């Protein structure tokens, strides 16, 4: 009897929890929602968050505000979100920098991306481009690699973010070449150096160099996505450029704290999917060099898990750690 009573009690408790989650989802949202960005205002992640905040507010009938919590390579903002109430009112627009690479860069993190978050969906992706100054001798990736082999340690590249550096180090590893990394504090200074020809090779996301590539101030040798970008259809993929199976496509997701009711996660997922198909959003994304996302939560979770394993292993092999 006692065993039966315990079993019934467990079912009753589970029903109460599920019922509460369903009830919350039915009335959600009934107060303002915060989108945490773990970086300063004005950057790429902040731009995406502000597009989403405006459109989600219109659809969901509640204010959706962006809350910037920069510092420590995204750790401060991510820890804040991870420790927030799992009720759908504190979310994070997070990049693969703080959600993927940090796992391999740091010995310890105050949050676990796989345990402390629920990926709602992918909101955008942004392939990288290997770009060079117009006067640079190499006109293709094959010519660049050939030049690097004749001048070990004699070529230099800039990368304003860890993911750009890791992508280039992966290329070096695959092609067995030595191209020297020149560190810059951010993408802006790295691009400026490339435009001036001070560091002739730049690995960067498409958005910040889109206008420079179109104006001929930089020349794109290849992009790192599996297909050509509709924004720069003349630039070949790495596979087309003879670099084999090389794909690096940084992505940004919408995350909720672990324990957020599944019904709320699903509602957010469906609302974001609608937003990402709106014509004005697509135009704003194109201007930023972004590709819209919009996949089921389960697929986003699988992508996160796969990327954490992949990049943690690669960072260890390359010997790259947070400074």
Segment 265-293, tens digit of pLDDT = 999 999 999 999 999 999 999 999 999 99
What is the three-class DSSP state of 322? Answer: coil
Q: What is the pLDDT of residue 195?
A: 96
Question: Does the pLDDT at position 22 exceed 90?
Answer: no
Q: What is the pLDDT of residue 5?
A: 47
Helices and strands counted in the chain (H then E): 12, 11
Question: Does the pLDDT at position 1 exceed 80?
Answer: no
Name residue, tokens 């001798």.
Answer: 137
Candidates 52, 98, 119, 63; CA nearest to 256 is 119
Q: Decide if 18-125+250-318 and 128-223 have a common fold.
A: yes
Class of the 18-125+250-318 domain? Answer: alpha beta
Q: What is the mean pLDDT of residues 60-67?
A: 98
Domains of the chain: which residue ranges? 18-125+250-318, 128-223
Split at pLDDT 50, 70, 90, the class of 248 is very high
Name residue, tokens 């100054």.
Answer: 133
Burial of 176 (0-12, 13-18, 19+ CB in 10 A): exposed
Question: Does the pLDDT at position 115 exceed 90?
Answer: yes
Q: What is the pLDDT of residue 41?
A: 93
Helix segments in the chain, DSSP class H? 2-27, 44-60, 75-82, 96, 102-105, 141-150, 162-175, 187-196, 206-214, 262-275, 279-287, 297-318
**Looking at the domain 128-223, which fold is it?**
D-Maltodextrin-Binding Protein; domain 2 (3.40.190)
């Amino acid at each position: 009897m006692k065993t039966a009573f315990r079993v019934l009690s467990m079912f009753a408790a589970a029903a109460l929890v599920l019922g509460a989650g369903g009830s919350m989802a039915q009335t959600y949202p009934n107060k303002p929602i915060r989108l945490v960005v773990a970086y300063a205002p004005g950057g790429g992640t902040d731009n995406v968050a502000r597009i989403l905040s405006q459109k989600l507010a219109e659809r969901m009938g509640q204010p959706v505000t962006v809350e910037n919590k920069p510092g420590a390579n995204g750790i401060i903002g991510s820890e804040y979100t991870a420790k927030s109430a799992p009720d759908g009112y504190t979310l994070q627009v997070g990049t693969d920098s703080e959600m993927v690479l940090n796992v391999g860069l740091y010995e310890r993190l105050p949050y676990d991306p796989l345990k402390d978050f629920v990926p709602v969906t992918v909101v955008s992706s942004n392939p990288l481009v290997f770009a060079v100054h117009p006067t640079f001798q190499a006109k293709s990736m094959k010519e660049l690699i050939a030049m690097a082999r004749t001048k070990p340690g004699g070529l230099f590249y800039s990368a304003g973010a860890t993911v750009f550096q890791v992508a280039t180090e992966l290329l070096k590893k695959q092609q067995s070449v030595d191209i020297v990394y020149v560190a810059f504090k951010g993408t802006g200074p790295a691009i400026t150096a490339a435009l001036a020809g001070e560091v002739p090779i730049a690995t960067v996301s498409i958005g910040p160099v889109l206008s420079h590539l179109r104006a001929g101030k930089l020349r794109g040798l290849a992009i790192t996505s599996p297909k050509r970008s509709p924004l720069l259809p003349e630039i070949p993929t790495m596979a087309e450029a003879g670099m084999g199976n090389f794909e690096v496509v940084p992505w940004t997701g919408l995350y909720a704290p672990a324990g957020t009711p599944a019904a709320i996660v699903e509602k957010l997922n469906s609302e974001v999917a609608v937003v990402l198909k709106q014509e004005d959003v697509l135009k704003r994304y194109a201007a930023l060099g972004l590709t819209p996302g919009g996949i089921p939560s389960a697929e986003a979770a699988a992508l996160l898990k796969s990327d954490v394993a992949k990049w943690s292993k690669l960072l260890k092999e390359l010997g790259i750690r947070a400074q």
